[in-house]
Structure 1
Amino acid sequence: MDRRAVVIATLWSDRYAAYTQLPESGRPDSHAEARELLGLAEVVHLDADLSQDEEERARTAAQGDARIKLALECSDYGLFQVIAAAPQLIDRWRGADAYAAAILMAAVDAVRLGVRSPLSADLLREAALGYCDARQRGTAPGNWFEASLAYLTQELHGAAAVLTPVAPPGTMGRPAGYELADYLQQHLGTRHRTAKVPAATWRALVSHLSDHNDRERAAQAAFNRLLYDYARDLLLQATNIGDCVHGPSTRRPTGRARVDGAGSRRSACPRRHWPLIRV
């Protein structure tokens, strides 16, 4: 009886190019068998984005599959990339040494506290200290940060990395900061949503945040946790001292400040605005 089989497989485009490329003259042909096998294939190129019909079917499937649901909620990679790399991202987190794990958790907490801009290397380096104990800090190798950053920025399955370097407009090859994989932020941010943020992270945010909106969101997070000193320091960077300090959803009228009996300066603005504490 004549039996035939159909084999369906997926392959990243860069791997396909590497396997099918002819070797240079005089060099060994290490992919001859792979190239012969791929020569038998009918190649179907898939778009990175879902069509409208595909997205509707995916959302229907997501009702019974938490992995698809979470992948659809990720903004930095498409459904296919997240599904392909999500296990590797989790393994990367679980396999990280103390220093890489410290940088990763510093990034998770910074985003959890409202930072939306790329995280600078200086911010991550300073904040990571709060996730290491005295022994780990004392025995850290001289290149602990560089080695950990290389581990976290390694691309996994050609689709994602724990931290992705990003450059500002008009520059090449000089990353201004790093963006945390959205999948990991959702996974770890949920697991650690009630965890205490180390003081080193707050100090790093005060010292290294440059975006006005990031400062206000981080200040709101500090204020909600009754960490008024950090809220004050972040807000003084985000606003003029003579302005009222307030939540991000309200206007910013200017008002005179008064000093109470304890020597604290408080805003003369209405109560819906934040008090400016102990300037």
Structure 2
Amino acid sequence: MTDAWGSNEIGVAHGPVVQARDVHGDVHIHHAGARPAPRSVVERPISGWSARQLGVHESITVDSATPDGPPCYVVRRHDDEIRGLLRDASETSLMLVLVGKSASGKTRAAYEALRAAGHLRSWPVVVPAGPNQLVELLAGGVPPRRVLWLNDVQRRFLDRPHVEAVAEGLVEVLSGPGPVLVVADVWTAHWKLLADTPQVQNLVNLPQVRMVRVADSFAGASDRERAELARCAERDPRLALAVRTGERQLAVTQVLSGGPRLLRDYLGGLHSPHAQALITAAMDARRLGQESPLTADVLRAAVVGYLDDRDRVAGGDWLTDALAEAARPHHGIAALTPTRQRPGIGPPDGYVLHDFLDHHTREARARKRPPASLWTALADHATAVDDRSRLAAEALQRGLYRLAAGCAGPAAESGDVAAMRLLAVLCDLRGATAEASAWKQRSGDLDRDPRPFDASPYLSWAEEEPDQHAQPAAAGSVDALWHEFDLAKRQGHEEEAVTCLRRLVAAGQPLAVSMLSVRLRDRGREEEAETLLRSHAQAGDPAAMWYLADMLVESTRVDEAVRWYRRSAELSALAVPLLVEALACLGRLEEAEGPLRTQMRNGVETACGHLADLLERLGRVDEAENVLRGWIEGTADPWRLSPQEPRGMELLAGLLRRAGRAAEADRVRRYGIEPGGSTAAAWELAPPRDA
């Protein structure tokens, strides 16, 4: 790996070019030979990088008098924290993670802090092209006094296929002699997911990893910060416009990025149908894992699935017109930014979606099923290994096995270990054990014991009281009360235990409510228990609602019990698995449908399987099948980072068998589904080259 360092040349932007064709039928893997040698990376001091090259958003323009370069920088409270952490970075390794919403100024804050750190200015800043190159660099050992710059770390580096290898490599480098500085930024929602991901927990729990939250706006700014903002706005017309436009929210950095205006235009439907469809296709491509610029060929092929029959009638050069509209700048910023990857001067050969649009529409589109036209366009035209690996992982999660194989094959033959593991899973699902072993052998996984994440602790109410005596707690604190309760319970002092629970209820501990109600009922104090539960249920506590409903059933007040069961399940995903059986026991099964559909609309994945079960019990098998097919294709479970069969596939196969369609059940387990949800026909998967 030593020859990968020290290059002053620009490396390959998006990895080696591979191409997969003919993904409409059988999947043929085009053999690319041995794993390519490590690509050289760019490393130069911070002074040799522009803010834009390191991922800082392009700023709006106002007029011809707009200053060159990024807008005047306003130092805020988080800047002081960042710069304080960097003071010690020359002695010990540090991973600095800036967390905030899109366009909140995370990357700019890191850029300015590094430029201001005199003792770090000479350190070469290394910008990996993607996760595969980063894994190569980490495996070879990062030389001391280097800065690894990981912009959009969750999306671009700690993605589903590569998260384990990247996290392990970062742990090793940060735990080594160093010193090495790793600078990363991540959206707030992505950081919450990463912090709870087992493959990343060893990394985020290192003392060398420090997280700094970047304020989303100037709304809570100090007087000093507001004065500095006003001073800079006097010198920079872009800031002045942002301050005026940001209004009460003072979302200055977002306005500087141009994002809010782009979002308003998109959500308001102010584009032509063709331009709107191009932008939507770019959004879906990004959330499926396509980080490289989208070519006109991809967009031309993909957009058809986003247009209705009327809008598919178009004359002239409709694509050129639509691209021009989507790329038309407002104050210098566009929804799709034209780029050129090929050498020399010429027309654009790709288009990049604005990050703000991706961030603010990703959740709304999370459960939308991308059309077949987009999947096919990406599988046919994607060239970057990292992109193909991410697309393959998304396709597998959605039951689209044929497309997953088509994306993964070229990536695997180019050396992507995650793609090899995915192909091994597909071979296992088909019963091709020899081919699966061959892929595992190539990936180094033949003797590996995969440990997929068990999400069950997050999907059920706690049955055990928390072990609050593990650490000393301050007297009078909630932890101290739990400690007292645990001690009283262990010693058999039930009245003292009840007293502790009352104090915990008064302190706002929801778990204590149900625990206290159980102990009150055990002592024959039914009326007091019901009063307790009812008051908390009426205040919106779903667990109290459920326990109250159980009490009401025992006293034959079934109608009221059903209402509380339904309300609990509408508010809490934890009640969803319990609802069908609870109402079935009361002969009120059909009344479970409403809450389950509510939770489906809220994005609670477990509701889909339980709704399908309910519909099948009610004799509505076709509806149950449609729910399962839509669930499989529309959901990519964020907890499932290792490749495996989608959760709903076994449920779908079971339903098909019970409906007398055993052959189709077997086929769907082996070959998956197609975009739109139909069962895939049998297709062939070529073995690895050296199998």
Shorter-chain TM-score category?
Answer: 0.5 to 0.7
How has the CA–CA distance of structure 1 residues 69 and 111 changed in structure 2, closer, same or farther, with 3 Å as cutoff?
closer
Separation in 2, partners of 1:109, 1:265: 36
Q: Is the 8 A contact 1:116 1:214 kept in 2?
A: yes
Q: 1:46 to 1:199 in 2, by over 3 A?
A: closer
Q: Could you tell me how far 1:170 is from its partner in structure 2?
A: 3.4
Q: Secondary structure at the match of 2:338?
A: strand
Residue 107, structure 1, aligned to residue 278, structure 2:
no
Residue pairs, 1:117-136, within 5 angstroms: 117-136=292-311
Task: Compute the displacement of 1:91 (Å).
Answer: 3.4
Counterpart of 2:103 (choices 49, 52, 71) is 71
2:325 corresponding residue in structure 1: 151
Contact 1:167 1:175 in 2 (8 A): yes
1:1-279 aligned within 5 A:
12=61, 14-16=63-65, 47-48=70-71, 50-53=73-76, 56=79, 69-72=101-104, 80=252, 82-84=254-256, 85-93=258-266, 94-137=269-312, 139-158=313-332, 160-168=333-341, 170-240=343-413, 247=418, 266-268=435-437, 269=440, 270=446, 272=450, 278-279=684-685
Q: Which amino acid aligns with 1:217?
A: R
Superposition deviation, residue 274 in structure 1: 5.2
In structure 2, relative to structure 1, the CA distance for the partners of 1:237 and 1:16 (3 Å cut) is: same
The residue aligned with 1:8 is none
State the SS of the aligned residue for 1:164: strand
Aligned partner letter, 2:436: S
Give the superposition deviation at 1:151.
Answer: 0.7
Aligned CA distance change for structure 1 residues 230 and 204 (closer, same or farther; 3 Å)? same
**Where does residue 33 of structure 1 map in the other structure?**
none
SS in 1 for 2:329: coil
More helix by share: 2
State the 1:13 CA deviation: 5.6
3-state SS of paired residue (1:72):
coil
In the alignment, is the contact (CA less than 8 A) between 1:48 and 1:80 conserved in 2? no
Residues 121 and 49 (structure 1 numbering): CA distance in 2 closer, same or farther, change over 3 Å? Answer: farther
Q: CA RMSD in A?
A: 3.9
- Structure 1 residue runs of 4+, over 6 Å off? 73-76, 257-265
Q: Report the AA paired with residue 177 of structure 1.
A: G
**Deviation readout 1:84-134 (Å, 9 max, x if unpaired):** 423320233121122111111110000000111111111011110111122
Deviation at residue 83 of structure 1 after TM alignment: 1.0
Going from structure 1 to structure 2, the CA distance change for 1:74 and 1:233 (only over 3 Å counts) comes to farther
Counterparts of 1:182 and 1:86, CA distance in 2 = 8
* Partner Cα separation in structure 2 for residue 98 and residue 201 of structure 1: 17
**Whole-angstrom distance in 1 between the partners of 2:353 and 2:301:** 17
Q: Deviations over 1:165-219 (max 9, x none)?
A: 1112632233220110000111122211110010100000111101010000000
Equivalent AA in structure 2 for residue 116 of structure 1:
E
Task: Map Cα deviations across residues 139-187 of structure 1 (whole Å, 9 max, x no partner).
Answer: 22232211111111011112x1000011126322332201100001111
1:127–1:16 Cα change, 3 Å: same
Q: Secondary structure at the match of 2:337?
A: strand
Structure 1: runs of 5 or more not aligned: 1-10, 18-43, 60-67
Q: 1:163–1:181: 8 Å Cα contact kept in structure 2?
A: yes
Distance 1:140 1:153 in 2: 19
State the Cα deviation string for residues 50-85 of structure 1 (Å, max 9, x = none): 35447649x9xxxxxxxx944216869x98563142
Mark the CA change 1:110 to 1:56 in structure 2 (over 3 Å): closer, same or farther.
same
Q: How many aligned residue pairs are there?
A: 225
Matched-pair identity in %: 28
Instruction: Give the alignment's TM-score, normalised by structure 1.
Output: 0.67
TM-score scaled by length of structure 2 = 0.29
Could you tell me whether the CA contact under 8 Å between 2:389 and 2:411 is conserved in 1?
yes
